[in-house]
Amino acid sequence: MLDLHTAMAALGESVPGMHIPDGFLTAPVAGAAYGISAIAVAYALRRTNRELGERRIPLMGVMAAFIFAAQMLNFPVAGGTSGHLIGAALAGALLGPWAAMLVMTSVVAGTREEADQWTSSWD
Q: Which residue has the higher pLDDT, 13 or 38?
A: 38
List, in order, residues 6 or more apart from 25 with CB less than 8 Å away: 3, 4, 7, 33
Which residue segment(s) compose the domain that 41 sits in?
4-122
**pTM of this structure:** 0.69
Lowest mean pLDDT among 40-44, 70-74, 91-95, 104-108: 70-74
What's the CATH number where 17 sits?
1.10.1760.20
- Count the domains in the chain: 1
- d(CA 111, CA 77) in angstroms, rounded, equals 21
- d(CA 50, CA 46) in angstroms, rounded, equals 6
Contact predicate 22/3, CB 8 Å:
yes
pLDDT of residue 41: 94
Residue 21 reports pLDDT greater than 60: yes
